[in-house]
């Protein structure tokens, strides 16, 4: 007989507005304790020095984390000119200094070079693994870290403001795997300047935005009043880009048992119209409840992830 999980069987998403100087893992632990949840996870690490959107999955929502990790993201960040650091943020050791101060116009003119599919070398202080070790652990130990360039997508980039000669604030929308610190590193090099990230905020992850986010303080206040569930978003919130197919209670029962169901031609056409190129994934819904994530094959839905809700 399997060991029974401790905690409550609570499921859903918390769109946390992560505060400054708190790691992603610590943020997940605090939210999990507030809800006394059996399990929890997050979709996309946010550095301790960054603030903003950190979607946290509780219970059955953890099964949808991989789909949100792939979602587009948006960031607002400030570059401080004059100093290049080892970590490309304000906490790193100084590697070089310069009196060059690019103007807002110069930055704006350079940004198109960083839009579209671009080649980007991740920062050595990153969570990427090298021979089984995290790159940042190797870098902190003083080892030279060489990471391979990879393709990333930046959908848009714009200058928000230049409050003074030493700073400029930008916003970008990008695909997964894009490092803001690498953009700042490469932009500074292109402009012949030294610079680093002095402030960073993630403003969106898929459907998770600042508008529907909550703070730890608000969650704690709701906890005192036993109203935490008011902050819970549905499990399917992370499945925004996946087509939905309504199924009967009978078909839902079959899917939850791990058995496939046969689709009628009209359902097949409906699903095909919503699928992204190369994707077969469909979200099966019974009323307002997500039943399973399925793969459509030869006119059938085969469950790949079943939700116990």
Active centre residues (catalytic)? 47
Are the C-beta atoms of 43 and 69 separated by less than 8 Å?
yes
Cα radius of gyration rounded to whole Å, the chain: 22
CA 159 vs. chain centroid, Å, equals: 23
Name every residue whose Cβ is closer than 8 Å to that of residue 67 and which is 6 or more positions away in sequence.
238, 239, 241, 242
């Amino acid at each position: 007989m399997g060991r029974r999980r401790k905690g409550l069987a609570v499921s859903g998403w918390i769109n946390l507005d992560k505060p400054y100087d708190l790691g992603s893992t610590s943020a997940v632990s605090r939210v999990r304790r507030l809800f006394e949840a059996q399990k929890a996870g997050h979709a996309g690490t946010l550095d301790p020095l960054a603030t903003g959107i950190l979607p946290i999955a509780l219970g059955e929502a953890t099964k949808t984390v991989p789909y949100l990790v792939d979602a587009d993201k948006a960031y607002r960040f400030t570059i401080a000119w004059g100093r290049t650091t080892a970590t490309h943020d304000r906490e790193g050791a100084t590697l070089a200094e310069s009196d060059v101060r690019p103007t807002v116009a110069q930055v704006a003119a350079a940004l198109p070079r960083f839009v579209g599919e671009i080649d980007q070398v991740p920062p050595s202080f990153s969570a990427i693994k090298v021979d089984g070790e995290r790159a940042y652990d190797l870098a902190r130990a003083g080892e030279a870290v060489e990471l391979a360039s990879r393709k990333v997508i930046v959908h848009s980039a714009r200058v928000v403001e230049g409050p003074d000669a030493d700073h400029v604030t930008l916003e970008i929308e990008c695909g997964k795997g894009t490092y803001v610190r690498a953009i700042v590193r490469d932009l500074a090099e292109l402009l012949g300047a030294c610079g680093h990230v002095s402030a960073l905020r993630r403003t969106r992850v898929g459907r998770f935005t600042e508008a529907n986010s909550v703070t730890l303080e608000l969650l704690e206040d709701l906890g005192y009043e036993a109203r935490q569930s008011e902050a819970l978003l549905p499990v399917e919130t992370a499945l925004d880009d996946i087509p939905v197919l309504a199924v009967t209670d009978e078909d839902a029962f079959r899917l939850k048992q791990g058995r496939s169901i046969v689709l009628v031609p009209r359902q097949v056409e409906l699903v095909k119209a919503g699928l992204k190129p190369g994707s077969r994934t469909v979200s099966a819904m019974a009323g307002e409840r997500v039943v399973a994530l399925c793969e459509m094959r030869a006119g059938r839905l085969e469950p790949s992830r079943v939700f116990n809700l």
